[in-house]
Structure 1
C-alpha cells in the first residue's frame, strides 16, 4: 500500500478507536493489529504513538476547519439561521471527527487541546467580525457577543452529537436565532 494510503488507513483506525473507546486504547499494538501491519510500519510513518496521534488531530482539525469554512461560506452577515443550520449539517456529515473535539475522550493528548483552542479562537474571531460589521454604534460588545454565541453554538453541537433524536437541527437553529435577536 502506498505511504499516503497507509497513513490514512492507520489514522482512520486511530479515529475510530479514539471515538469509540478513548485515546488510551489507541495503542501501537492495537492499531497495527487492526491494520494488519507491524508496529514498525507505524514507526516509519509517524515515529511512534505520539506522532500518530498528533497526525490524527492535525488531519481531523483540518477536516473540521474545512467543514466550518464550507458551511459558513457565502452566508450573508446576520443570517444566523443559515450559518447555524449549515454548521450542524456539517457536524452530522462527519460526526466522528466533530466528536473528537467537542466530546474529547479521557487520555486525549495535549496537542488536541492546543489545536482546539486555536480553532475556537478562529471561530470567535469570525463571530466578532460578523457582529462588528452589523453593529450600529456601541450597541454590541463584539467580544462578549462572539464568546456567548460561540458557547451556545458549542452546546448546540454537543447536543446534536449526543442526542440527535431529541435535538433536531430545526429546534437548535430556532433557539440560537432567538438568542441572537
Structure 2
C-alpha cells in the first residue's frame, strides 16, 4: 500500500522570538514613515505576512507594539553606549566614544528620535513614560561615567552635568535632521569642543 504524505507548503514555521523581531523591525519602519497616529496595524500585519488578529495576539494593541519598539530601542541604546565605554582608556576617549555611539545610534534608529521630537502627538501616559525612561537610562549611565572620570564631582554635580549632556545630544541629533551633511563624527567633535573645557579637572 502506498503511504500518503501530507502536502508541504515549503513555508518554514518561524520561532516566536524571531517572529517578534521581524514584527518590531517592520513596525519601526511604519511608525517612522507614517507617525504613530496614522500607522495602520493592517499595514504592519500585511508587511509581516500575518493576520491582524495574530498581530494583536503578539502585542495586544497598537500601543503595546509601540511600547515594545521603544523598549527594544532602549536596550540597544544602552548596549551601544556600554560597549563604547568599555573600549575607552582615557576620560576624553570615554566621552568621545560614548557621544559617537549615541549619534550613530540616532542615525540607525531614526524612528525613536522622531517619537522623542513629537512625543506630544502620542496621547498615552505609558508611551510618554517609556520615552522618558530612555532619557533617564542615559542620564544615569552618563552620571556614572562622569563619577568615574571625575571623582572630584559629587553626585548632584554628576547628575546635573549628565542631564545637560543628554539634552545637548538630543538637540544636536534634531539639528542634524536639518543639516544632513553633518556626520555622527562631526557632531561628536562639535560637542566635544563644547564639553571638554567645562569637564576638565
- In structure 2, the CA distance between the partners of 1:156 and 1:131, relative to structure 1 (3 Å rule), is same
1:36 aligns with 2:49: yes
1:57, 1:111 within 8 Å by CA — same for their partners in 2? no
CA distance in 1, matches of 2:123, 2:48: 21
Q: Which residue of 2 aligns with 1:120?
A: 135
Structure 2 residues without counterparts, runs of 5 or longer: 1-12
Quote how far apart the aligned CAs of 1:23 are: 0.7
Aligned residues of 2:20 and 2:58 also touching (Cα < 8 A): yes
In structure 1, the partner of 2:126 is 111
Structure 1, gaps ≥5 residues long? none
- Match of residue 77 from structure 1: 91
Give secondary structure in 2 for the equivalent of 1:37. coil
| Cα distance change of structure 1 residues 128 and 59 upon mapping to structure 2, 3 Å threshold | closer
Provide TM-score, normalisation by structure 1: 0.79
Q: Per-residue displacement from partner, 1:90-111 (whole Å, max 9, x unpaired)?
A: 333x233543554346336433
Q: How far, CA to CA, are the matches of 1:88 and 1:52 in structure 2?
A: 25
Task: Give the whole-Å Cα distance in 2 for the aligned partners of 1:153 and 1:65.
Answer: 15
Provide the C-alpha distance between the structure 2 equivalents of 1:14 and 1:109, rounded to a whole number of angstroms: 18
Q: 1:24 to 1:88 in 2, by over 3 A?
A: same
Give the equivalent residue in structure 1 for 2:76.
Answer: 63
Q: Does 1:99 align with 2:113?
A: yes
CA positional deviation for 1:159: 2.7
Q: Is the 8 A contact 2:103 2:184 kept in 1?
A: yes
Conserved? CA contact 1:32–1:42, under 8 Å:
yes
Could you tell me how far apart the structure 2 residues matched to 1:83 and 1:144 are? 18
Instruction: After the TM superposition, list the runs of 4 or more consecutive aligned residues in structure 1 that deviate by more than 4 angstroms.
Output: none
Whose relative contact order is higher, 1 or 2, with alpha carbons under 8 Å and at least 6 apart? 1
Q: SS at 1:136's partner residue? A: coil
Q: How many residues align?
A: 178
Is it true that 1:25 corresponds to 2:41 in the alignment?
no
- Aligned-pair CA distance for 1:22: 0.3
8 Å CA contact retained: 2:100, 2:184: yes
**Structure-2 separation of matches of 1:117 and 1:78:** 27
Distance 1:31 1:44 in 2: 14
Bigger CA radius of gyration: 2
CA distance in structure 2 between the partners assigned to 1:175 and 1:135 by the alignment: 25
1:164 paired to 2:180:
yes
SS of the residue 1:172 aligns to = helix
